Amino acid sequence: MSTDLHRLIEELNGPAPDNFLASDKLVRIGEPAIPLLVMTLLEGHPRAQDTVRATLERIGEPAIQPLLEVLRLGDPQLQVLAIRALQQIKGGIMQAHPFLKEMLTSEHEEVRLYTSGALLKENYAVKEAFVVLVNLLATTDKHLRFSVIMMLDDTCRSSRIDLSGVVPVLSDMLDNPDSTVRQRATIALQQIATPEARAALAKRR
């Protein structure tokens, strides 16, 4: 089994379709494959990392605790990969959310983006996560800013997320000197469309 596992792990770093076939076999092996998959994730082979992440996602619940350990290592690239995987596993964010709340203060913008997005989608620490997401509009990274805008739109359109506590935050954003921030706040309030949100917009007219 050990020899087979190592061979399949090596194939994850190879070309398609061999890497996808290896992933399918590792999913069928399941939990015994997790330690080597996590080790491969930590080694940082760019070609293999996304395939490893997707394989762990498909293995599911047994991968949650090892992915939580990856989060705790503090490496920003690995943290983003772990968050993305945990979002696809039932119960992953539920188990991770106490630590994710701490990660909202990460010095790395991409980590804050994925952390706030994961918490918002699962209705955890909504106000704190929303404030972090909004503040990321100040980023100088154009690609990241686009991701922030898309995530804000998805969040404000969602009927699953309780955004009642973020209207004051958005109302304050209407006075921001940055025109993009003001525009996103206006759109967000229009999408939330509660009486409080409509009142906030009416005051600025």
78-128 pLDDT tens trace? 999 999 999 999 999 999 999 999 999 999 999 999 999 999 999 999 999
Tens-digit pLDDT profile for residues 8-52? 888 888 888 888 999 999 999 999 999 999 999 998 777 788 899
Q: CB within 8 A of 24, min separation 6: which ones?
A: none
pTM of the model: 0.87
Tell me how far apart the alpha carbons of residues 19 and 41 are, in angstroms, rounded to a whole number.
Answer: 15
- For 138, other C-beta atoms within 10 Å of its C-beta total 13
At residue 6 the predicted structure's pLDDT band, cuts being 50, 70 and 90, is confident
Main-chain dihedrals φ then ψ at residue 7, nearest 5 degrees? -65, -45
The C-alpha R_g of the chain, in whole angstroms, comes to 20
pLDDT value of residue 1: 54
